[in-house]
């Protein structure tokens, strides 16, 4: 497929190391060029501005999730899954998948999550210096997702590389994606070969398999649901918690506001999510010719929704590159929007709010060093974040 006559085009490849490491300038340039830009290097139509991204995510009839990945092999593999389907199939799958993630279902988890977060934060504060990713951001989502599924022990070391591989494979079939096949295959085999009666009693994983055994949901869906929880819920939550610590460290006056008034925690986390979208891009496929700002995206095209670019659009947010904990941007794009809007956002917020609350209560002041960015085709997170000179409150 090539660009239509009216299209704005760009030679930039948004999946190179350089852009993944520092997307800001490239995304700003694309956004200022046009609301939709044809990326020649990848044969992809990028949506770059807030309003157009939100409209596209809300219009599943024109922007289908059957092209949620940027390579045909993965779109084939994902056929019939929640992430890669459109209504009416998606509506059925989503109902089963989100049943255990509703605010009501999560209520029972809050105390456990708060306690675990408090212990983790107490431990790193005692040390005085620590790595914000390895020692703090990774730990809570890892413990919570393993508890949720009802497994411990042997797979713990594998979960993070598996989740990372699953996100790499949603990108174009570049080297990063190709190298991820073996690990992503292991995750698939593990979730789809799982036996419900081996999962801890009372866990959500066990409840899903019990529902399968009773015939309430098709049995083949059980492994799929566990796969979605694992693949979707790890890198994203870890990246967002790590970026919270980084942004607090880089903006001590904003951190002080949350310390002084913990009711700002939800607002502050929304602002972190807006500033640092946990995914670069997500795919969609056009089901008809779609005209945006005078450009026609042809039917059957691969579209990229650039969450980060939309969240920093000055047409929608005042001073978008400034971190303001009181902004409370409830309408940020980081959880997506529309029928596929993140099914796990309640859980992600429980985890992040718990860490922020404990951190604000237990830490008086701290410093952060230069972080290293984790290179992934789809998710955006940090590899390391030095935290030092931690003074306990």
The only residue of 278, 301, 363, 390 in contact with ligand HEM, by rule CB under 6 A: 278
Nearest CB to ligand HEM, comparing residues 30 and 343 = 343
d(CA 356, CA 244): 8
CA-nearest of 124, 74, 105 to 229 is 105
The residues near 77 (Cβ < 8 Å, ≥ 6 apart) are none
d(CA 19, CA 174): 14
Question: Shortest Cβ distance from residue 85 to ligand HEM (Å)?
Answer: 8
Question: Shortest Cβ distance from residue 262 to ligand HEM (Å)?
Answer: 20
97 is an interface residue for ligand HEM by CB under 6 A:
yes
The only residue of 23, 171, 233, 329 in contact with ligand HEM, by rule CB under 6 A: 233
Nearest CB to ligand HEM, comparing residues 183 and 347 = 347
Binding mask of the shown chain, residues 311 to 350, with x at each position contacting ligand HEM by CB under 6 A: -----------------------xxx---x-xxx--xx--
3 is an interface residue for ligand HEM by CB under 6 A:
no
The only residue of 83, 137, 169, 211 in contact with ligand HEM, by rule CB under 6 A: 83
63 is an interface residue for ligand HEM by CB under 6 A:
no
Q: Which residue is nearest to ligand HEM (CB)?
A: 344
CB 237 within 8 A of CB 273: no
Residue ranges in 191-230 that form contacts with ligand HEM under rule CB under 6 A: 228-229
Alpha-carbon dihedral 218, 219, 224, 228, rounded to 10 degrees: 70
259 is an interface residue for ligand HEM by CB under 6 A:
no
Question: Shortest Cβ distance from residue 17 to ligand HEM (Å)?
Answer: 22
d(CA 26, CA 30): 6
d(CA 87, CA 65): 10
124 is an interface residue for ligand HEM by CB under 6 A:
no
User: What is the 3 state secondary structure string of 274-312?
Assistant: HHCCCECEEEEEECCCEEECCEEECCCCEEEEEHHHHHC
Phi-psi region of 295 (alpha: psi -120 to 50; beta: other; left: phi over 0): beta
Contact set with ligand HEM (CB under 6 A): 65, 68, 82-83, 94, 97, 228-229, 232-233, 236-237, 240, 278-279, 282, 334-336, 340, 342-344, 347-348
């Amino acid at each position: 497929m090539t660009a239509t006559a009216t299209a704005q085009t760009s030679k930039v490849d948004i999946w190179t190391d350089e852009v993944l490491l520092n997307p800001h300038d490239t995304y700003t340039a694309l956004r200022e060029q046009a609301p939709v830009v044809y990326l020649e290097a990848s044969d992809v139509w990028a949506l770059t501005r807030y309003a157009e991204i939100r409209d596209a995510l809300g219009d599943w009839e024109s922007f289908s999730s059957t092209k949620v990945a940027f390579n045909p092999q993965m779109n084939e593999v994902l056929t019939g899954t929640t992430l890669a389907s459109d209504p009416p199939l998606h509506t059925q799958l989503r109902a089963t998948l989100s049943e255990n993630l509703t605010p009501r279902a999560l209520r029972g988890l809050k105390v456990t999550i708060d306690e675990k977060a408090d212990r983790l934060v107490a431990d790193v504060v005692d040390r005085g210096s620590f790595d914000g990713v390895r020692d703090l951001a990774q730990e809570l989502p890892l413990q919570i997702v393993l508890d949720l599924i009802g497994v411990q022990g042997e797979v713990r070391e594998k979960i993070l590389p598996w989740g990372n591989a699953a996100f790499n494979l949603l990108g174009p079939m570049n080297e990063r994606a190709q190298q991820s096949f073996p690990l992503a295959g292991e995750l698939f085999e593990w979730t789809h070969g799982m036996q419900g009666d081996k999962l801890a009693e009372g866990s959500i994983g066990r409840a899903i398999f019990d529902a399968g055994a009773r015939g309430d949901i098709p049995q083949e869906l059980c492994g799929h649901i566990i796969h979605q929880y694992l693949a979707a819920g790890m890198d994203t939550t870890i990246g967002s918690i790590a970026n919270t610590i980084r942004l607090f460290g880089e903006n001590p006056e904003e951190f002080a506001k949350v310390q002084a008034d913990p009711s700002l925690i939800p607002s502050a986390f929304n602002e972190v999510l807006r500033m640092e979208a946990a995914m670069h891009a997500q795919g969609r496929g056009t089901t008809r010719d779609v005209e945006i700002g005078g450009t026609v995206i042809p039917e059957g095209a691969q579209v990229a929704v650039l969450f980060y670019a939309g969240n920093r659009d000055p047409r929608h947010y005042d001073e978008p590159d400034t971190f303001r904990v009181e902004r409370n941007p409830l309408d940020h794009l980081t959880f997506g929007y529309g029928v596929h809007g993140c099914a796990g956002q309640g859980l992600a917020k429980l985890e992040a709010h718990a860490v922020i609350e404990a951190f604000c209560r237990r830490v008086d002041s701290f410093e952060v060093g230069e972080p290293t960015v984790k290179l992934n085709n789809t998710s955006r997170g940090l590899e390391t974040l030095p935290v030092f000179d931690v003074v306990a409150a």
